[in-house]
A and B are shown apart, each in its own frame.
Chain A
Amino acid sequence: MIGGYGGSPILNGCTISVDRGEIAVVVGPNGAGKSTAMKAIAGMLNLTSGNVVLAGKSITTLPTQMRVKAGMALVPQNDNIFPTMTVRENLDMGALLSRDTAAQTMKEVFDLFPILAEKRNQIAGQLSGGQRQQLAMGRALMTRPTALMLDEPTAGVSPNVMDEMFEKIRGVAELGLAVLIVEQNAASALEVADIGYVLVEGRNRFTGSGQDLLNDPETRRSFLGAHS
């Protein structure tokens, strides 16, 4: 993928892929284009060249809402819930495209995130950081995606809840979804990753299994310093 917001491209030919049932983690320094890559996959910025393929079909030219229909879901880093609506209404928003199965999906989401069932009638803006992230993920799952992208799912989440979040994400992948995560807490994220990508200046620098990257001395030194 090559693309950016107008000026010089932020993505300089990076390639990211993930299979169903697996978790891929993208790490890299600030400004490496991690979030931009996700936005490009979601159709929120235009690629100058490259392709986005979902389940064998190219979705490169589709607008965002059609990509969602095709089975892609993204949880943005910020503003990822509707704060004035209740938890329940937030989930309903995700179910716009799949009304017939909404009740069933919502049950699955509640099973995965019991706290949401408990707080279903609360205004979403009043939730704690961790609960917000769970709601954001729940809303994304309501669209019944085959590929789920999470931009910094542990941002604003307390460290002890973080491990729980990664466990939940693991659970989501086991439902048969392809999960792609961009993460600052690289070490913890790579622990659960089936495959890891290190992005630098919009290019792939290293690719390998989560463990490989964790064990690779250069990666450790450059990107995981604070956490190792």
Chain B
Amino acid sequence: MTDILNALVHLTNLMILPGLAYASQLALGAMGVTLIFSVLRFSNFAHAETMSLGTAFCIIVTLWFQQLGISFGFLPTALLALPFAIVLTAIFLILSDRMVYRHFRRRNAKPEIFMILSSGIMLIINGMTRLLVGPKGRIIDDGERFLVTAREFKEWSGLAEALVIKNTVVLTIIIAIFICSVLFWFLKNTETGKSMRAYSDNRDLALLSGVDPERIVFITWILVAVLATLGGVLFGLDKGYRPFVFQQLLLPVFAAAVVGGLGNQVGAIVGAVVIAFSEIGLTFAWKRFFSYLLPADLEPTSMMQILSTEYKFAVSFTILVLVLLFKPSGLMGGSQR
């Protein structure tokens, strides 16, 4: 019995909790990608950099708050800085739309053109973030580190394995669930949300109903700013901020959106869970887990790790390729474009 509990605690501690946190971060990113895809109809290659930019804004405001001596008690100061970072990101996104995308939207340019434009924006943001906060890594997590520490848990449970619950992990999961619920409610129940759905379902018919396309685009960018900044900051709180690492988020975020079905909000969440747990599960060292469950003479001798952690990007890439080959519309069925 103790062995099974030990095995489960070990798995929860090193795989399930980090997996859920990573899935939440990916889901926030993938929902932004899918929102842009369904309303603005292009694949936004600048999305990972947008998350990075939002985080960079958040770091700057956080540093400023720390200098002023403002803190958020046991919670990280970055949470206080979040609203400011979201506003700054939204302003940047709307400016980029006014200066770049709008011109081509009015000419009914093909989605491929927007994709290339977004790659250009990606490079611009890439430079901007380095100018803003520098290329070095930064730890932005302050406040209390742990909700439950290893020692506390071991004393309480008497198990050999410890369950460590990091504040940032709990925060990430709670905030992601909250924001997703708010977004779904908004799209389903408000007039603006319905107009957005209508505009993404059938653009001509929405125009014929008097929907103002510029207003829809404006609101979409604001929602994207909220999702991307939150996703970026939560990822940064959890794993530290490094511009290069954020750049690499593009692949798993896109893989999550495509696996779930581009244009499908629920799909983005499902895709994020699939990608996150495949990455972690395939690079996880299962030795300890099995040594608790199996009899002593069957105890595994190797680490029982399917892939070494350097290959984790290959995992999302492989899943992306497989889904595109065998179920191009994604697991939950995306839009038909």
Residues of A within 8 Å of B195, CB to CB, are 93, 96
Residues of B within 8 Å of A82, CB to CB, are 197-198, 201-202, 205
Residues of B within 8 Å of A132, CB to CB, are none
Query: Is B205 a contact partner of A80 (Cβ separation < 8 A)?
Result: yes
Residues of A within 8 Å of B202, CB to CB, are 79, 82
Residues of A within 8 Å of B212, CB to CB, are 65
A-B contact count (CB 8 A): 62
A140: contacting residue among B191, B208, B213, CB under 8 A: B208
Is A162 an interface residue when CB atoms closer than 8 A count as contact? no
Least Cβ–Cβ distance between A77 and chain B, in angstroms? 11
Is A92 an interface residue when CB atoms closer than 8 A count as contact? yes
Query: Is A85 a contact partner of B208 (Cβ separation < 8 A)?
Result: no
Query: Is B209 a contact partner of A68 (Cβ separation < 8 A)?
Result: yes
Proximity bits, A57-68, B CB within 8 Å = 1, else 0: 000000111001
> Which residues of B from 185 to 212 have beta carbons under 8 Å from A?
191, 194-195, 197-198, 201-202, 204-212
Least Cβ–Cβ distance between B190 and chain A, in angstroms? 11
Report how many residues on chain B are interfacial, defined by Cβ distance under 8 Å.
17
Chain B residue nearest in CB terms to A69: B210
Query: Is B204 a contact partner of A85 (Cβ separation < 8 A)?
Result: no
B197: contacting residue among A76, A84, A139, A140, CB under 8 A: A84
Chain B residue nearest in CB terms to A136: B205
Query: Is A143 a contact partner of B209 (Cβ separation < 8 A)?
Result: yes
Is A196 an interface residue when CB atoms closer than 8 A count as contact? no
Taken together as a complex, chains A and B put the C-alpha atoms of A17 and B210 apart, in Å, by 23
Q: Chain B interface secondary structure, helix, strand, loop or mixed? A: helix
Known: A44-B204, A96-B191. A85 touches B197 (CB 8 A): yes
Chain A residue nearest in CB terms to B106: A63
Least Cβ–Cβ distance between A106 and chain B, in angstroms? 14
- Choose among B195, B198, B209, B211 the residue with the greatest number of A CB atoms under 10 Å from its CB: B209
Taken together as a complex, chains A and B put the C-alpha atoms of A41 and B191 apart, in Å, by 28
Residues of A within 8 Å of B204, CB to CB, are 44, 64, 76, 79
Taken together as a complex, chains A and B put the C-alpha atoms of A142 and B210 apart, in Å, by 11
Residues of A within 8 Å of B201, CB to CB, are 82-84
Residues of B within 8 Å of A63, CB to CB, are 207
Chain B residue nearest in CB terms to A89: B194
Residues of B within 8 Å of A69, CB to CB, are 210
Taken together as a complex, chains A and B put the C-alpha atoms of A84 and B197 apart, in Å, by 9
Least Cβ–Cβ distance between B13 and chain A, in angstroms? 42
Least Cβ–Cβ distance between B150 and chain A, in angstroms? 49
Residues of B within 8 Å of A65, CB to CB, are 207-208, 210-213
Query: Is A96 a contact partner of B211 (Cβ separation < 8 A)?
Result: yes
Known: A93-B198, A96-B191. A76 touches B205 (CB 8 A): yes
Taken together as a complex, chains A and B put the C-alpha atoms of A206 and B254 apart, in Å, by 56
Taken together as a complex, chains A and B put the C-alpha atoms of A189 and B201 apart, in Å, by 31
Given pairs A76-B205, A139-B209, 11 additional interface contacts (CB within 8 A): A42-B208, A44-B207, A64-B207, A65-B210, A65-B211, A65-B212, A68-B209, A83-B201, A92-B191, A96-B209, A96-B211
Interface residues of B (CB under 8 A from A): 191, 194-195, 197-198, 201-202, 204-213
Leading 4 A-B pairs by shortest Cβ distance: A97-B210, A64-B207, A68-B210, A93-B209
16 residue pairs of the A-B complex, CB under 8 angstroms, read: A65-B212, A65-B213, A68-B207, A68-B209, A79-B205, A82-B197, A82-B198, A84-B197, A92-B191, A92-B194, A94-B209, A94-B210, A96-B210, A97-B210, A142-B209, A143-B210
